[in-house]
A and B are shown apart, each in its own frame.
Chain A
Amino acid sequence: MPLSLRALDTLRAAAMLAGLFFHAALAHSPLVQPFFPTADASQAAALDLLLWPLHLVRMPLFFVIAGVLAARSLARHGMAGLMQRRARRLLLPLLVGVPLLHLAMTALIQQAMDQVQRPSPLLRWLRQADELSLPLGTGHLWFLYYLLLFLVLLWVARLLLPPGAKAWLRALPLPVWLIGLPLLLTPALATVSAPHPAPEGLLPQFWALAAYGAYFAFGFLFGTRLQQLAGVRVLALLGVGGGLALAAFLALLDAPRAQAGALLGAVSALASAWLTLALIGLALRTCKRQGPLLRYLSEASYWVYLVHLPLLFALQFACMDQPWSWFVKLPLALVVTLGLCLLSYELLGRRLLGRRLPDQARASASTP
């Protein structure tokens, strides 16, 4: 159904671009001021009310959509074809991006440590250390790593699961997922810190495999029936329930915690699952077309997300000493970063990621 795919494509692009906003806004969030490298002197508590809900749904959306597209690609091209395509689109950027990112971030932070006059608490703390050695990890490209892991686990599941189990999984109705997803997510989210971290380590984390894997599995198994999420009743239920859970989550999240605990874990799980599904339903209901601007942004969003972080940090470090309010710094950082990313997309990204030119893109709005 090309219509629903266009909606999902738009949603995925929105999630990626929201990531840009998220990372930029973290500099001005009081909640993470002690830990974030680019934490600015100008803070806005109101931002926290926007950021943490976004954090709960941004990556889950991405993994659900990835699951849907994986199922589609599998049906069309078979397992070998799926793996080949994903290797090109995910593995290469991961293998190339991680070392480059590590080098860039180390250099940026080193320079910031040397030059910034009004440093963030983290920078101040790093200055006291003997030498800067950032832990080797995947950085913000962790989603590529986990997506590849899920594809490998998909291959494993297809080979090892008995046919009865496969059929049973494929037939699970929506109510089971609506209850099951939060149940699966609660133990995962309860055992990690709150707000939940990005699993940037080189080694797979059980909680991330469980949490994001559940979303991927949902997308893969339920993908052809997603239209059910667009019904008014379902949307209302998800919206109200998710909203209430979100309110509880925000109320409980007064300060960062090393371990979220059962209650916070449960409400964040419920909020995350239901709001993610609600957003999907909403997108399916409202996104009927994809105008040329949206289509362009959709195509560029992947590249933009891959390259934005070092650019963003560089800008934010450069502006750190300026006395401007976050009201100025945040939009400035966003616009300039986005502009530079789109420029790099035109110059380099398009060729590297093998995207087609705008007129050819009309052939298919969302190629997996």
Chain B
Amino acid sequence: MSAALNRPAIRALVVKDWQLFEKQLAAYVLAGIGALALIGHAQRWSFYVGSLMLIIIMVAVACFAVSTSLLNERKDKTLAFVMSLPVSPLDFYLAKLIGNLITFGLPFLILAGGAVAVTLSTPVPDGLITLVLLLCAHQLLAFCLSLCVAMQVESEGWNIFAMIGSSVLINPLMAGLSQIPDIARHWPTNEVVWSWQALAILAAQLLLSLALLGYTSWRHLRKQAFY
């Protein structure tokens, strides 16, 4: 097994995945800017519509980034074509990982930044920042889970289940968080307070995300051949 990184090949694969997803991404970015502007319009109705749009876009970007780059490749049988190129399984895996992190990560950072901006600069109480960041971290975790499953499992059914399931868990998460007094207490205030429970949950989400990525990496490092 060749451990040397084939950087030009990885770069070419990442560029390819970007080019295949670009149009979709542009639509999401446009909707994202629209959502942020709606929130900035500072009317009750536009605030709700904008916030809802933000959440939907974040979930959609996560799901479609993974499904376009991995699931569709398998379904459309373009995977075999890529495998015939001078790339090793490790190169292929790294390219998918980097590509997905970029196509998801960029809009995610912008939207998360937008959500933080909303909380800080509008009449929305600043204490909600803890909730906002915990929800964003959950979205990140959901994405890492979807990516991890998509890399290992071929069945489309399981992949869709992983994506939808992890995103839908946002509701129970919100409900659960509001049950923890040390976290929920500060939401209506303008004080940003990171209680140990909130920090622990945030740390768990981030560490779990890293662990999932680490696990898939480890699995793929040991792979000598594609099939």
Contacts and interface: CB of A to CB of B under 8 A. Distances in A.
Interface stretch (B113-121, B127-135, B165-173, B203-211): B113-121
Contacts of A160: 23, 26-27, 30
Interface stretch (A151-159, A231-239, A263-271): A151-159
Interface residues of B, number: 18
A155 B36 CA distance: 18
Interface in A103-119: none
Interface string B9-31: 00000000000001100110110
B22 A159 contact: yes
B117 A203 contact: yes
A92 to B, nearest CB: 16
A203 B54 CA distance: 13
Contacts of B30: 153, 156, 160
Nearest to B23: A159
Interface stretch (B37-45, B71-79, B140-148, B155-163): B37-45
Interface stretch (A120-128, A172-180, A204-212, A281-289): A204-212
A149 B110 CA distance: 11
A160 B26 CA distance: 7
Contacts of B36: 203-204
Main DSSP-derived SS at the B contact region: helix
B33 interface: yes
Contacts of B22: 159
A159 B26 CA distance: 7
Nearest to B118: A203
Given A136-B120, A136-B121, A137-B121, A203 B37 contact: yes
A204 B23 contact: no
A156 B23 CA distance: 8
Contact of B33 (A135, A136, A159, A204): A204
Interface string A248-274: 000000000000000000000000000
